[in-house]
A and B are shown apart, each in its own frame.
Chain A
Amino acid sequence: DSGVTQTPKHLITATGQRVTLRCSPRSGDLSVYWYQQSLDQGLQFLIQYYNGEERAKGNILERFSAQQFPDLHSELNLSSLELGDSALYFCASSVFGTGLYNEQFFGPGTRLTVL
């Protein structure tokens, strides 16, 4: 158990809908990262927040957005869902925003199925 929690574990929804995935980082960690894992794209970095501020952006679609709240938990919002958005979404956390000794610890993931 990494100490990173994600809810829900599974989510089944229909095309066109909007969902929110939630992540609580390990105690003391200031950075939160979101990754998407799908069969065709593999594991891809979506976005990073550090202490409430967006730090880095990866291959995140415009239909997706994220935020980090004052208590450091983060939410990933996915809207106008398409079949291709079905994937495992991981949240990771680390102590710092960057630096050599800044290992990321991964949560259990949320499996999203879009029908």
Chain B
Amino acid sequence: ELKVEQNPLFLSMQEGKNYTIYCNYSTTSDRLYWYRQDPGKSLESLFVLLSNGAVKQEGRLMASLDTKARLSTLHITAAVHDLSATYFCAVGVQGGSEKLVFGKGTKLTVNP
């Protein structure tokens, strides 16, 4: 059974600092997604990573995927308050459907 582990679960950082969120998964998969969720809101797609070594960047966020290590990272550069949200990684289960297994999420708070 596919398990997805995210850490840290809570992250409080100061504006201008850098940090990385880690997402480990337990079985082979060829697709990994990062989502952002603001309180009480829906899931907003940030990145879709489909191959080993994939790296995608959008603004101050950069995501990467290492399928051999079963690890994805979400790196935050020079954080700003607007990045405060909960970030989820989700891994696609191979074979027959597109069921997503989510990590528990990382609640990020960026303090001025």
Q: Residues of A at under 8 Å CB distance from B?
A: 2, 31, 33, 35, 42-45, 48, 55-56, 58, 90, 94, 96-109, 111
Q: Give the Cβ gap from B72 to chain A, nearest Cβ, in Å.
A: 16
Q: With A90-B43, A109-B42 given, is the CB distance from A56 to B104 under 8 Å?
A: no
Partner of A97, one of B45, B97, B105: B97
Tell me whether B41 is interfacial, beta carbon within 8 Å.
Answer: yes
B42 touches A45 (CB 8 A): no
Partner of B102, one of A43, A48, A107: A43
Partner of B99, one of A56, A101, A103: A56
Q: Give the Cβ gap from A47 to chain B, nearest Cβ, in Å.
A: 9
B85-112 contact mask (Cβ, 8 Å, vs A): 1 or 0: 0001010000111111111110000000
Number of A-B contacts (CB under 8 A): 62
Q: Residues of B at under 8 Å CB distance from A?
A: 30-31, 33, 35, 40-45, 48, 50, 88, 90, 95-105
Dominant SS among interface residues on chain B: loop
A-B residue pairs in contact (CB < 8 Å), sample of 13? A33-B99, A42-B103, A44-B102, A45-B99, A56-B96, A56-B97, A94-B98, A97-B97, A98-B98, A104-B33, A104-B98, A108-B42, A109-B41
Contacts of A31 in B (CB 8 A): 98
